[in-house]
């Protein structure tokens, strides 16, 4: 299933995802899809997190920053929930990333090239697909070189609405563990969202899943669901480097790549005109 994941990552529209599902037997089989958070009544959470698409994206960006801070804590041997952990996000930046004298970017010298270099290696957003309203809607890819997740933990992290994994970590912002599910209802008509991740220590393979709105009666209560293999496990594959972004001529973009970390893609995303 590695090729399927990479093809989904390269897809630039909901229509392309539709085509990939139709030509992949495992994806086309409805029995290989599970309701998000293990409940059919997940609409009440997925639909009530943000009033527009732009605000919903901030949840993803918050998770990206949290993931990078968590990775650097773990690399330094600091238990994020332990007594030695930084007690604020600003303290975490100063201690784990770089001393910015209060953890604020405004304290950097404007000529300091560090920020651009750090951002390009750790926190990237790519936009592809439609370039105007007449062409349709663009797709967004969010890439972080952060903590990442083992495939066997997807269901209690990315795919959970209530586990609260980060609530006792003082220096992160996203404490409610809703898996950035607020973006789903702004992803086209079918809510396609791809998640690809590998834990920072590379002790496990890459894991991936595709989320969507369950096909069926458009007037029925929407149900968010995600793809698993026939054996019930999150799909996984081995790959040294993941290149999440492509160029207009079909070649991969070499400027951003991951050996571990997370890439999330939202198809036909309705960000809103004011963003």
Residue 250 has pLDDT above 90, yes or no: no
* 3-class secondary-structure state, position 44: helix
Residue 246 to residue 194: CA distance in whole angstroms? 16
The two structure tokens encoding residue 77: 């041997």
pLDDT at 48: 59
Residue 177 has pLDDT above 60, yes or no: no
Are 145 and 169 in contact, with CB atoms under 8 Å apart?
Answer: no
Q: Is the pTM of this model over 0.75?
A: yes
Residue 44 to residue 257: CA distance in whole angstroms? 36
Lowest mean pLDDT among 22-26, 40-44, 109-113, 232-236: 40-44
The stretch 93-112 carries a mean pLDDT of: 87
Torsion of CA 86, 57, 178, 143, to 10 degrees: -70
* 3-class secondary-structure state, position 101: coil
| Per-residue pLDDT tens digits for 15-58 | 999 999 999 999 999 999 999 988 887 766 666 566 788 888 88
Residue 172 to residue 67: CA distance in whole angstroms? 9
pLDDT at 165: 60
Q: Which residues pair with 224 in a beta bridge?
A: 213
Count how many Cα atoms sit within 13 Å of the Cα of residue 195 in the half-sphere of its side chain.
31
How large a percentage of the chain has pLDDT more than 70?
92
Residue 164 has pLDDT above 60, yes or no: no
pLDDT at 178: 52
Residue 208 to residue 191: CA distance in whole angstroms? 16
């Amino acid at each position: 299933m590695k090729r399927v994941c990479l093809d989904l990552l390269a897809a630039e529209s909901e229509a392309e995802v539709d085509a990939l599902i139709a030509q992949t037997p495992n994806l086309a089989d409805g029995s290989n899809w599970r309701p998000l958070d293990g409940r059919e009544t997940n609409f009440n959470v997925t639909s009530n997190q943000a009033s527009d698409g732009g605000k919903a994206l901030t949840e993803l960006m918050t998770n990206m920053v949290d993931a990078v801070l968590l990775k650097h804590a773990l690399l330094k041997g600091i238990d994020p929930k332990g007594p030695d952990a930084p007690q604020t996000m600003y303290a975490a930046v100063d201690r784990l990333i770089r001393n910015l004298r209060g953890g604020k970017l405004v304290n950097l010298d404007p000529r300091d090239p560090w920020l651009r270099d750090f951002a390009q290696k750790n926190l990237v957003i790519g936009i592809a697909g439609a370039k105007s309203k007449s062409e349709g809607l663009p797709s967004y890819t969010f890439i972080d070189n952060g903590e990442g997740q083992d495939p066997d933990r997807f269901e209690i992290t990315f795919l959970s609405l209530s586990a609260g994994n980060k609530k006792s970590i003082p220096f992160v912002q996203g404490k409610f563990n809703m898996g950035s599910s607020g973006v789903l209802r702004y992803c086209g008509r079918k809510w396609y969202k791809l998640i690809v991740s590998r834990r920072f220590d590379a002790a496990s393979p890459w894991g991936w899943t595709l989320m969507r709105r369950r096909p069926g009666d458009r007037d029925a209560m929407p149900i968010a669901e995600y793809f698993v293999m026939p054996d019930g496990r999150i799909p996984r594959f081995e790959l040294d480097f993941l290149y999440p972004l492509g160029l207009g001529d079909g070649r991969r973009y070499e400027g951003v790549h991951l050996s571990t970390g997370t890439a999330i893609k939202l198809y036909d995303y309705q960000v809103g005109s004011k963003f």
